[in-house]
């Protein structure tokens, strides 16, 4: 099966932001313009994440989802602040195909059970934020990587399989925005016979990182943010009216060792 290329769009206060290790969020621009660019260039899916929704116990990106879904015709996953079946229903009505749940599920696993029963496994994605805690030990976090759930990755994976979620997006918090590659040691905690798609996110900064991950049979796709955003900046700047951090985008500075990647280049590698 071909591995999917997914653009991850983090949203705060209706703008696309990007940080390092899920912190220090820098405004980049209009999320719809980025989504339009990725769709036009052949992305397989888009993952929209309200990165402060769980922290502030709110959910208000429905309007953005509607706006993007009106012109983008690939599957859209939406996450951030989903705490009830009503929240999930609202996102689906706004145009989401799938909903990603992390904080709400860790705090109340019964919520995930009910969500799967109500909407079906294919609609419910487990969004896992994991932090390395000592040699070979990984722990699940929530609130955009701020708080520990005091549960190991392997135990939570087992729970999610029992619950029946349809997909897992696995973020390595310490690698996010660093551009030095995804921590493949995390994958040792993933069962060989997982039987649901696994999407990895965090650390991809070059085509070599994509190629290395593409050889791992446990990985079904890549959610990429920084490396795609810095390749899309020219289009976004040409198609917006003073929206976004023009001074930063014009500076030519790319964080750390991240190589701007086009979707075509990634697909050529795959």
Contacts of 252 (CB under 8 A, 6+ apart): none
> Which residue matches tokens 């899916």?
45
* Mean per-residue pLDDT of the chain: 88
Question: Which residue blocks in the chain are alpha helix, DSSP H?
Answer: 31-40, 62-69, 85-94, 103-107, 109-119, 153-163, 207-214, 226-238, 246-251, 263-269
Residue ranges of domains in the chain: 4-269
pLDDT attached to residue 38: 96
The answer to whether 220 and 3 are in contact (CB under 8 A) is yes
Which fold, 4-269? TIM Barrel (3.20.20)
| Residue 42 burial (CB count, 10 A) | 13
Active-site residue, selected from the candidate residues 36, 129, 176, 220: 129
166/123 Cα distance (integer angstroms):
7
The answer to whether 185 and 136 are in contact (CB under 8 A) is yes
pLDDT attached to residue 219: 94
pLDDT attached to residue 235: 76
Residue of 8, 18, 41, 3 whose CA lies nearest to 221: 3
> Which residue matches tokens 């001074």?
247
Q: Taking the model in full, what pTM does it have? A: 0.91
Whether residue 57 lies in the annotated active site = no
Most confident of 177-181, 225-229, 244-248: 225-229
* Confidence band, pLDDT 50/70/90 cuts, at residue 255: low
Contacts of 40 (CB under 8 A, 6+ apart): none
132/221 Cα distance (integer angstroms):
21
269/209 Cα distance (integer angstroms):
10
Answer whether residue 119 shows pLDDT above 80: yes
For range 23-34, the mean pLDDT: 81
Whether residue 10 lies in the annotated active site = yes
For range 56-80, the mean pLDDT: 89
The answer to whether 23 and 51 are in contact (CB under 8 A) is no
The 10s digit of each residue's pLDDT in 74-105 is: 999 999 989 999 999 999 999 999 999 999 99
The answer to whether 45 and 6 are in contact (CB under 8 A) is yes
Angle (CA) 96-22-214 rounded to 5° is: 70
Kindly report the backbone phi and psi dihedral angles of residue 107, in degrees, each rounded to the nearest multiple of 5, phi listed first.
-75, -30
pLDDT attached to residue 199: 97
The answer to whether 158 and 168 are in contact (CB under 8 A) is no
76/27 Cα distance (integer angstroms):
22
Which tokens sit at 56? 């502030």
pLDDT attached to residue 254: 56
């Amino acid at each position: 099966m071909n591995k999917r290329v997914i653009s991850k769009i983090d949203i705060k206060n209706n703008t696309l932001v990007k940080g390092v290790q899920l912190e220090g969020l820098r405004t980049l621009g209009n999320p719809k313009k980025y989504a339009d660019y990725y769709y036009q260039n052949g992305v397989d899916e888009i993952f929209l994440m309200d990165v402060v929704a769980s922290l502030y116990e709110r959910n208000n990106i429905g309007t953005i989802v509607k706006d993007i879904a009106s012109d983008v015709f690939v599957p859209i996953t939406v996450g951030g602040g989903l705490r009830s079946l009503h929240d999930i229903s609202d996102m689906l009505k706004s145009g989401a195909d799938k909903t990603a749940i992390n904080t709400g599920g860790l705090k109340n696993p019964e919520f995930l059970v009910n969500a799967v029963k109500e909407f079906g496994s294919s609609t419910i994605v487990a969004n896992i934020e994991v932090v390395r805690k000592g040699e070979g030990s990984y722990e699940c976090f929530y609130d955009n990587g701020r708080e520990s759930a005091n549960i190991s990755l392997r135990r939570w994976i087992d729970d999610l399989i029992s619950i029946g979620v349809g997909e897992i997006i696995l973020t390595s918090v310490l690698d996010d925005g660093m551009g030095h590659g995804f921590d493949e040691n995390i994958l040792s905690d993933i069962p060989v016979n997982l039987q649901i798609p696994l999407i990895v996110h965090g650390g991809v900064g070059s085509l070599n990182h994509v190629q290395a991950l593409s050889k791992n049979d446990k990985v079904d796709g890549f959610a990429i943010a920084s490396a795609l955003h810095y390749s899309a900046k020219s289009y976004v700047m040409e198609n917006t009216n003073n929206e976004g951090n023009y001074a930063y985008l014009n500076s030519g500075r790319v964080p750390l060792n991240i190589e701007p990647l086009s979707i075509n280049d990634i697909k050529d590698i795959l």
